[in-house]
Structure 1
């Protein structure tokens, strides 16, 4: 069963998160026969629709970057074009130094082009430290560097601790002093290579963005929740003849002379090609027999756990500040790391029941264990405490829901790009095998879809997509408070 010269044949996709479903969708468009194996009882991975107090909400990711085309285009192809909806407000705050302060403008992931851009968030000493950047000698960054380490060296720790850290934490639930600048904020990495002054490099990024001004919103949601996306893609996959099997965990993957043998419970499937679209630990187990080098690299990938606390209130009882929510710097010692005023941010939530106000908080960062060890009631309690401190909200919720994402977010430490390159180098030695997912090229929805498309192209002998992702990672921009 070779894919050479006669199309892709039968392809098994392991994993029905958005990456696996996007791969299946693309494979069917290319004429393949597709079977998707999902270990759990549902599709969608970290995209999870839910309900609270009779209102539909997202219990996982709630928006997607619209300036990259992959996710929005996939939504349209899956029949959700009319449901695409930008945030009703993009105005957010940062809860720091004892007050809610307007989120600064004129920065790239918290790194300013001028000190004035962070006025009101940083102390006078912190602002003065930024001004010294222009007089400092070049900071060598080598092949990669931690975002926090580099920015602190150029602009001072206060910029990192009060703005970069909460912004990056909203994406990775990680530590800015460990996260790779090359993989997580590639624009800054290129600016650091090209300029001695970091603020000068940021101003150049901003000038280029202004010159290439794109119309339309930066982020997009879906009426009814982004959690509808994997369901719609799965429906499209089935309508095109693809098979999706849930409660079917793949536990063995072996190369045979005429293709691949996949064992999933009592099922044994044979395929011309396989796309492995599961998180790193599961991928490592599957690849151990045939690609031990790739398996070893994937087994070393670390993950952060987090929880989302969703709360519904009677609107008449709940007065909130303006905006879409707020971020919380870890340095301020609070428990929650962000809050999204969901009914403010998404018009469709407000329309479903105008008398109900929904908001959510997020808790948990990489390395934190104590807070996530608390029971659901404990997480609701600390969320309500911090919300009261930040906003004055003291009403009793109509309903609460806690959604735990254990090992939900892969970490991108310094050298992440090199690890991904080594994984793909090992995988490329095996015909008819490709990998995709959040642990490779970005944790956002467009990044996962782009990774899936590159994997399909690679099965057809076209590695341009993989090379493009390696050269131009999909930056996981922060989508507002609570993302």
Structure 2
């Protein structure tokens, strides 16, 4: 068994388990705070970094087949891009609007929404029944009464509230559909906690709930760290795809990235941690001062079982959903009938395999430098993993059949790519906030967690958890160094941190 001890009289050695965006962002933050002398090792099971961020070449153009965008009104991504010198690489969507497929027809998604939830200015005619529209009109008073009873954030399934707005069963799929996007969430509204939507700073619940709260939140969302309100774009992306971000994070972190490496066990030592790596037939150990776990919830639960059993049990309760992205490229003449929309959300219960189409070249101007029309289909809802266990050709056929039904495009694509995300989407069930609190409060010193299973699946939320995890470990290592240095100048961790800033 090979042992890699922490070098004597050296700055700290931190292991980051998981090379997705959360792990790389944690490594980057650790490098910035611990300085160039620290040793940072990133351990990734796959043969590439990025996790569910993945950029491929679709007919010669960089094209994201995982997450495609980020919430630009949150501060994390603009701050990180600025630190990496990538502020100029940020792009924003065109003015194309989305549509909704419900009750066998395609209609415009109501305007004046915040992340798909209608504000008071939204027009819901044709989507809700007359009683449903009346209930929406009475929403401000009902929301205030609900908040007074402590209803918000209590973990009640969202569908229960949705059904109270419109009792007609035929309308429920349309109402519930707006609660999740094409790639982020796959859980039906019937299992979706209201606590997932808040309360957090800038959320509708934080502004009193209901449509009035969404209107206030929409106005407040334009304010970033005290800046005056202005109509800033909601979403952003990177012109070269997310690989631009991943490459920049890897370079700036200056970490020892070990691909194809499985972490099988995590053990607590008298000072620090030991990770058992590789196959059982040829195990290797890595001794470090601190560890960030930036892995999916089941993997975190497995590694925490012996060292933090309470946190492990909470992590094991977080379920995952699988999904597939099918990317397609067409000649302009073959896709001339494509609607000028940014895409279509498909309501639950429709006789289609996809849950959404993104008309990528309509939505992002930079994705059609050669004139080809590029789009992506999202398939897979919570509990439907078995429907995805077919050949790539079958998935492409399903996507093309649904595209033909929705748009009339029947031509053969010039390029296609199938990207499977097995267990790639954590599902925030009722009580999720309590589970996360249990995980974070149950970690011993020198151990931190990050990733989409915690406070949001979007890239900004992942970056936020990564930075928080890094700061937790920096605080621990700083305390450890001070204690070691107290009797005299024999502390083995060297002169760090390099900076005391926390921005």
Which residue of the partner structure matches residue 431 of structure 2? Answer: 415
Which residue of the partner structure matches residue 78 of structure 1? Answer: 84
**Matched residues in 1 for 2:411 and 2:274: separation?**
57
Which residue of the partner structure matches residue 163 of structure 2? Answer: 152
**Matched residues in 1 for 2:343 and 2:360: separation?**
8
- Match of 1:220, SS state, is strand
Q: Whose helix proportion is higher, 1 or 2?
A: 1
Which residue of the partner structure matches residue 466 of structure 1? Answer: none
Q: Residues 168-195 of structure 1, C-alpha deviation per residue, up to 9 Å, x if partnerless?
A: 1432111112122222343699756885
CA shift in 2, pair 1:451/1:336, >3 Å:
same
**Matched residues in 1 for 2:203 and 2:239: separation?**
36
Which residue of the partner structure matches residue 463 of structure 2? Answer: 449
Q: Is 2:200–2:206's contact at 8 Å kept on the other side of the alignment?
A: no
Q: Is 1:188–1:202's contact at 8 Å kept on the other side of the alignment?
A: no
Q: Residues 233-254 of structure 1, C-alpha deviation per residue, up to 9 Å, x if partnerless?
A: 112222xxx2111111111111
Give the superposition deviation at 1:45: 0.2
Give the superposition deviation at 1:460: 3.1
The 5 A counterparts of 1:74-223 are 74-114=80-120, 117-133=123-139, 138-139=145-146, 140=149, 141=151, 143-154=154-165, 161-170=173-182, 171-186=184-199, 198-206=210-218, 208=220, 213-223=229-239
Compare 128-137 and 385-394 and name the one that shifted more. 128-137
Which residue of the partner structure matches residue 21 of structure 2? Answer: 18
Q: Is 1:312–1:397's contact at 8 Å kept on the other side of the alignment?
A: yes
**Matched residues in 2 for 1:393 and 1:418: separation?**
47
Mapped pair 1:392 → 2:408: yes
- Match of 1:186, SS state, is coil
Which residue of the partner structure matches residue 294 of structure 1? Answer: 311
- Match of 1:303, SS state, is strand
Provide the alpha-carbon RMSD of the alignment. Answer: 2.7
**Matched residues in 2 for 1:325 and 1:198: separation?**
27
Which residue of the partner structure matches residue 43 of structure 1? Answer: 49
CA shift in 2, pair 1:276/1:402, >3 Å:
same
Give the superposition deviation at 1:127: 2.3
Q: Is 1:274–1:432's contact at 8 Å kept on the other side of the alignment?
A: yes
The 5 A counterparts of 1:268-279 are 268-279=285-296
Which residue of the partner structure matches residue 349 of structure 1? Answer: 367
CA shift in 2, pair 1:459/1:160, >3 Å:
farther
TM-score, scaled relative to structure 1:
0.86
**Matched residues in 1 for 2:26 and 2:295: separation?**
12
Give the superposition deviation at 1:155: 5.2
Compare 211-220 and 172-181 and name the one that shifted more. 211-220
Which residue of the partner structure matches residue 70 of structure 2? Answer: 64
- Match of 1:450, SS state, is helix
CA shift in 2, pair 1:236/1:116, >3 Å:
closer
- Out of 331, 354, 357, the position equivalent to 1:336 is 354
Runs of 5+ consecutive residues of structure 2 not aligned to the other structure:
1-5, 477-503
Q: Residues 264-312 of structure 1, C-alpha deviation per residue, up to 9 Å, x if partnerless?
A: 1243211111111111111111111111111111122100001011111
- Out of 440, 443, 446, the position equivalent to 1:424 is 440
**Matched residues in 1 for 2:302 and 2:409: separation?**
47
Mapped pair 1:280 → 2:297: yes
Which residue of the partner structure matches residue 497 of structure 2? Answer: none
Number of residues of Structure 1 aligned to a counterpart in Structure 2: 450
